[in-house]
Amino acid sequence: MNNDWSILCARLSFWFSRLMAMTTKELIQFGRDILLLFAIVYLFVFDTYMAGNVTMQLNKAIVTVHDADHSAASRELIYRFRPPYFKLGGEVLDNYAGQRLLDQGRALVVLNIPSDFAHDITKGKSVDVQVQVDASNTVLGFLASSYTTQIIGQYSYDQALARLGVNEQALENVPTVRNEYRVWYNPNQKDAWFMPISELLVVITIMGIMLPAAAAVREKERGTIEQLMVSPLTPIQILLSKVIAMTLVILLGTAVSLFLVLHGIFAVPMKGSLVLFFAVTTLYIFTTAGLGLYIATLSRNLAQAALLAILVLMPMIFLSGAWTPPEAMPMGLRQAMYISPLYYFIEMAYAILLKGAGLDILWDSLLGLALIGGLIFGFGVWRFRRQFE
Amino acid sequence: MDQTALVDDDPPVVRVREFVKRYSKLTAADGVSLDIRRGEIYGLIGPDGAGKSSLMKAIAGVLSFEGGSVEVFGQTIDSEAAAEKVKGRLGFMPQGLGLNLYPELSVEENIDFFAELREVTPVLLAERKRKLLAMTRLDRFLDRPMKQLSGGMKQKLGLVCTLIHEPDLIILDEPTTGVDPVSRRDFWTILTQLLRERSVTALVSTAYMDEAERFQRLSLMFGGLVVAKGAPEVILHDVPGTLVELTIAAQVEALVRLEKRFTQVEAVGSKIKVFVPDVTPQAASAQIQELLIGMEIEQIQVEEPSFEDAFIALLQRRHLARKEEDSSVGKVWRDGEPPLGDGIAIVARELTSDFDHFRAVDRVSFEVRQGEIFGLLGANGAGKTTVIKMLTGIRPPTGGAGTVAGADMRRASQSVKERIGYVSQAFSLYQDMKVQENLRLFARIYGVPGRQISERIDRVVQLAGLGSVYNQLVGKLPMGIRQRLALACALVHGPLVLFLDEPTSGVDPIGRRRFWKILVHLARVEHVAILLTTHYMSEAEHCDHLALMHAGKVIADDTPAALKTALEQEAGQVLDLAAEPVLSALEALEQAGFVDAALFGRRIHLLIKDVDEATSRIGACLSERNILLLDITPRAPSLEDVFVHRILQQERQEAPP
């Protein structure tokens, strides 16, 4: 009995020693690949940094004016289109010129002020101003038209009050409804919190698929797999070593990005348990590694693997809510989101980092990721082993 | 010979001066100059990386170059437009079996496609196709897709496609690499006939030193330089020396003594070959006997040095041979484990392997003893690699059984894997890792205990002479050193059985000899069993035992000496004759009933039982037709003769009556 135990232990220690030898080898090779190192640094540091600088608001969108009135009143309206959201792009002499600028994409908004603007306002008549918006980019068009409506509405409100002779004190007696809302989790609604987290999660996904796939395909491409096949290594040891090494690399990249860029530069709060965050990330990387290994079994070289990875990545990201919120999806696609592992990962990552959520709240998402991850990884392993037979 | 002499005054078809080609930092050709005359077969001989392909591509006008000039048919090739002007007059066949052909197209479709590309009119095409197909004996396979042809047939089809527009110059890049000796012989005969008939000029490259005598003139290339050029016999003449062959009981001791004095000493099977430069045969023999005084020499004889000997001597003379540290081969590095049980290391019984549609290996049986070097010989696709894959446990056999290093390969493939070392055909170590990192990785994979790893690595590094490159990246090492590293990695766990799949293809002759020295040491001193595959006939001589494979079957299985003796008893000696004009002589001999007469460069070989009777018959037959018989000598058959004879015999048996 005792003897059996010691044999088993010796076997296990050999098994692990082989696995570690292979993992070390993967890390050495990774360290020698300048292009991969560059990609890792770029994606985890610079890409997430750039994402933090992008906002989802208008940034100095160009407004061109056709002012037929040239009055004090029209000027007051025009000067309400100010940075940071808008920037005046000058005046045009007629409506057609404004239209042309829209066509050429040199203005986002064209404001048309009729010639009797000031006259009618002082007369107390209502006036129409025409706003033309380039909505070829729907998000921009939507933002521009809603901001413009707000500015003109405010101007009209101010004019009406002035006309009525209502001053600051009297304003308190005018009945108005004010909405007092509370924004939770990101009180200043900073895009610099949302965007880089989302970007980081996408980067983890890309690397999680590509790195194991590349490591596996490289062996095939360079013929080194042959030498491994005649060695006492089992297919499990070959693939696990790749997954472990690449998981370590990605976790390191994630840590650098999280502490240096997200927390260090953009002051993203890390409210929840970091242990939980990295545990979830590890589980997620194993899931994507399963996909990567499957891709590697289908491809003969790195180019094919990269192409297949893109085919897998696109729906995965699209169905995750990273680029489009689930609330904006049609029902069918919203159901389909439950099969994208990235969906669960995003939910949990935001909840842990911004809300400080723990396992008591996230257990169902974690279960979902574990189930899908287990299936995908198991499938990847099965396919990878099968190609040796 | 006369033909070339007649046209000597013509301007050369190809004139290359101070040709330089660089690939970023690597210089592929460094100041190569040569002239190719009309109607000759000009050879470029050298190992991989000598610069042959670069030079050929530049002459074919498909590669730009950094320095010097290339003239083809008097046209200076300095631009794409200039190359375009002569492209219609030349044909180029790139390296690799059937690489310029389309695998899905049939034989005829391939030919038609090339004809269309070259704008050959239908009438001319029909006539040329008929002639070329008959000559290459491909006419029976018109409808067969190219991918289903054997290596030799692919090369013949490639030749037909290259010749379909009747070019004045053909450039063939290593047409015989990886082709079995029978097809090689066939290929050369066809080429010679075709060229003589139309006085086409040919530039042909090869990595086989023993093909040198097939060329009228040649350039020996190494590392981007031309080491020697001229007619083969002129080159041999310029490197005077004698090859001494001796058999001696205390081989290891004799080798040590000889190596102190001579640079080219080689153990080949039970023999030792020594190249003694500059002296007469008698003096050479005397020198060696003096060195080995006090030792009993069983047999000693002198031979003409081979082309390979001359090549190595030339390299050494010009100090091009890399100076490397000596591998201390005299050391016993394995931990004195006794050989396994009955001394049988590998047993294969009726091994069979079926792929989807065909039987790759058909009931192959053999035995390899501990300390024996066993060679599996055969063409590409004969089934050698599949046999190795089954024995190493990568591929389960369809039928049959085998034991490797005491473990059943069917049931205990994991134990087999732990006990063997394996060096694969293509280099399959990690090029982005250092020499020591590779060694450490394989030591750990094969379960060398942590405490012993450093010591083991030290030993194999010493054995393979890798000390000076220990910390270098593998990708930057030359081919020869890489192969020794692959060997070191395969040996790091001290295996009793070593599998080598074409370990030396592409390695230069010096590197090959160095590699063999280690193998001989492993077998003789360490009693490691070595099973290797090769298609170099000169390498087969090193083996203690040979199995010839053809179409999945073992067709002969014995020691090299016994194989030769058996052939001699069965079919006689080889008669080596030179005649002028040689093609008419060949035709005459074939008509006179010498069916197996084969063209060998400018000489003819035939197997003859009764030498004296045949000599007089041949003399009479040739003089009758006014063919000049220059010389005629009988000699013992070589392994290549054995190989060709056995395969032809097999094919005749299999052919439908």
Give which of B458, B461, B520, B519 is closest to B488, Cα–Cα: B461
How far B413 CA sits from the closest chain A CA (Å)? 9
Type of residue found at A108: L
Which residues on A lie below 8 Å from B390 (Cβ)? none
Query: Is A261 at the interface with chain B, CB within 8 A?
Result: no
Q: Answer yes or no: do B394 and A230 touch at CB < 8 A.
A: yes
Predicted confidence (pLDDT) at residue B615 exceeds the cutoff of 90:
no
Predicted confidence (pLDDT) at residue B616 exceeds the cutoff of 60:
yes
The pLDDT value given to residue B2: 41
What is the pTM for the complete model shown? 0.79
Stretch B105-115: mean pLDDT: 92
Banded model confidence at residue B416, pLDDT cuts 50, 70, 90: confident
Please say which residue of B212, B235, B258 terminates a domain: B235
Full domain range(s) for residue B650: 562-654
Stretch B552-571: mean pLDDT: 89
Percent of chain A clearing pLDDT 70 (strictly above): 92
How far A84 CA sits from the closest chain B CA (Å)? 52
Banded model confidence at residue B656, pLDDT cuts 50, 70, 90: low
Same domain (yes/no): B31, B169 = yes
| Cβ-based burial of A117 (10 A; exposed 0-12, middle 13-18, buried ≥19) | buried
Stretch B150-161: mean pLDDT: 85
Predicted confidence (pLDDT) at residue B472 exceeds the cutoff of 80:
yes
Predicted confidence (pLDDT) at residue A44 exceeds the cutoff of 70:
yes
First to last CA, chain A: 35
Helices (H), B7-121: 52-59, 80-87, 107-117
The pLDDT value given to residue B467: 84
Q: Which residue among B414, B424, B473 sits closest to A227, beta carbon to beta carbon?
A: B424
Predicted confidence (pLDDT) at residue B1 exceeds the cutoff of 50:
no
Q: Which residue of B has its CA nearest to A18?
A: B445
Q: Which residue of B has its CA nearest to A229?
A: B394
| B649 close to B548: Cβ distance less than 8 angstroms | no
Same domain (yes/no): B371, B464 = yes
Banded model confidence at residue B330, pLDDT cuts 50, 70, 90: very low
B338 inside domain: no
Q: Which residue of A has its CA nearest to B391?
A: A230
Stretch B230-250: mean pLDDT: 86
The pLDDT value given to residue B264: 84
Give the whole-angstrom CA distance, residue B381 versus residue B550: 8
Q: Answer yes or no: do B447 and A24 touch at CB < 8 A.
A: no
Same domain (yes/no): B488, B354 = yes
Banded model confidence at residue B365, pLDDT cuts 50, 70, 90: very high
Q: Answer yes or no: do B428 and A33 touch at CB < 8 A.
A: no
Q: Answer yes or no: do B424 and A21 touch at CB < 8 A.
A: no
Question: If contacts are CB pairs under 8 Å, which of residues 29-48 in chain A contact chain B?
Answer: 29, 32-33
Weakest mean pLDDT among A199-203, B111-115, B479-483: B479-483
Same domain (yes/no): B98, B133 = yes
Banded model confidence at residue A2, pLDDT cuts 50, 70, 90: low
Q: Which residue among A33, A226, A231 sits closest to B445, beta carbon to beta carbon?
A: A231
Sign, Cα dihedral of B215, B221, B226, B228: negative
How far A227 CA sits from the closest chain B CA (Å)? 6
Same domain (yes/no): B28, B90 = yes
Same domain (yes/no): B505, B542 = yes
Same domain (yes/no): B291, B408 = no
- Please write the tens of the pLDDT for every residue from B489-520: 998 988 889 999 888 776 777 788 888 888 88
Which residues on A lie below 8 Å from B446 (Cβ)? 231-232
B333 inside domain: no
CATH code of the domain in which B613 resides: 3.30.70
Helices (H), B77-209: 80-87, 107-117, 122-136, 151-163, 181-198
The pLDDT value given to residue A240: 92
| A262 close to A48: Cβ distance less than 8 angstroms | yes
Q: Which residue of B has its CA nearest to A223?
A: B428
Choice between B651 and B420, residue whose per-residue pLDDT is larger? B420
- In B199-232, which positions are buried (b, 16+ CB within 10 angstroms) versus exposed (e)? ebbbbbbbbbbbbbbbbbbbbbbbbbbbbbbebb
Choice between B654 and B33, residue whose per-residue pLDDT is larger? B33
- Please write the tens of the pLDDT for every residue from A248-287: 999 999 999 999 998 888 888 888 899 999 999 999 999 9
Predicted confidence (pLDDT) at residue A332 exceeds the cutoff of 50:
yes
Banded model confidence at residue A46, pLDDT cuts 50, 70, 90: very high
Same domain (yes/no): B108, B176 = yes
Q: Answer yes or no: do A224 and B428 touch at CB < 8 A.
A: yes
Q: Answer yes or no: do A18 and B392 touch at CB < 8 A.
A: no
Q: Answer yes or no: do B428 and A222 touch at CB < 8 A.
A: yes
Q: Which residue of A has its CA nearest to B389?
A: A230
Same domain (yes/no): B251, B397 = no
Give the whole-angstrom CA distance, residue B480 versus residue A87: 70
Look up the CATH architecture of domain A61-171.
3-Layer(aba) Sandwich (3.40)
Stretch B248-268: mean pLDDT: 83
Please say which residue of B513, B540, B558 terminates a domain: B558
Which residues on B lie below 8 Å from A222 (Cβ)? 428, 431
Percent of chain B clearing pLDDT 70 (strictly above): 94
The pLDDT value given to residue B452: 87
Which residues on A lie below 8 Å from B506 (Cβ)? none
Which residues on B lie below 8 Å from A230 (Cβ)? 392-394, 417, 420, 422, 424, 499
Query: Is A174 at the interface with chain B, CB within 8 A?
Result: no
* Segments making up each domain of chain A, as ranges: 21-54+189-386, 61-171
Stretch B464-471: mean pLDDT: 86
Query: Is A14 at the interface with chain B, CB within 8 A?
Result: yes
How far A388 CA sits from the closest chain B CA (Å)? 8
Which residues on A lie below 8 Å from B447 (Cβ)? 14, 17-18, 232
How far B548 CA sits from the closest chain A CA (Å)? 24
- Please write the tens of the pLDDT for every residue from A294-330: 999 899 888 999 999 999 998 888 888 777 777 777 8
Q: Which residue of B has its CA nearest to A30?
A: B432
| Residue tagged 């600028």 (tokens) | A101
Same domain (yes/no): B456, B551 = yes
Stretch B559-564: mean pLDDT: 90
Weakest mean pLDDT among A121-130, A179-188, B320-329: B320-329
| B420 close to B392: Cβ distance less than 8 angstroms | yes
The pLDDT value given to residue B25: 77
Banded model confidence at residue B466, pLDDT cuts 50, 70, 90: confident
Same domain (yes/no): B246, B372 = no
Weakest mean pLDDT among A370-379, B155-164, B267-276: B267-276
Same domain (yes/no): B153, B285 = no
Q: How many domains does chain B have?
A: 4
Predicted confidence (pLDDT) at residue A71 exceeds the cutoff of 60:
yes
How far B498 CA sits from the closest chain A CA (Å)? 12
Q: Which residue among A18, A20, A226 sits closest to B424, beta carbon to beta carbon?
A: A226
CATH code of the domain in which B64 resides: 3.40.50.300
Predicted confidence (pLDDT) at residue B536 exceeds the cutoff of 50:
yes
The pLDDT value given to residue A69: 86
- Please write the tens of the pLDDT for every residue from B290-313: 888 888 888 888 888 888 888 888
What's the token pair of residue B164?
């379909």
Give the whole-angstrom CA distance, residue B266 versus residue B285: 16
What's the token pair of residue A229?
């096949």
Give the whole-angstrom CA distance, residue B566 versus residue B607: 13
Q: Answer yes or no: do B422 and A227 touch at CB < 8 A.
A: yes
Stretch A333-347: mean pLDDT: 86
Weakest mean pLDDT among A212-216, B126-130, B398-402, B537-541: B537-541
Q: Which residue of A has its CA nearest to B428?
A: A224
How far B441 CA sits from the closest chain A CA (Å)? 6
- Inter-chain contacts counted by CB atoms under 8 A, chains A and B: 68
Give the whole-angstrom CA distance, residue B329 versus residue B463: 6
Please say which residue of B181, B214, B235 terminates a domain: B235
CA dihedral A248, A252, A258, A263 (to 10 degrees): 150
Give the whole-angstrom CA distance, residue B328 versus residue B517: 11
Task: Return mean pLDDT, chain A.
Answer: 86
* Interface mutation target, options A22, A231, A387, chain B, most CBs of B under 10 Å: A231
The CA R_g of chain B, rounded to the nearest whole Å, is: 26
Task: Return mean pLDDT, chain B.
Answer: 84
* Interface mutation target, options A226, A227, A228, A233, chain B, most CBs of B under 10 Å: A227
Q: Which residue among A22, A224, A230 sits closest to B392, beta carbon to beta carbon?
A: A230
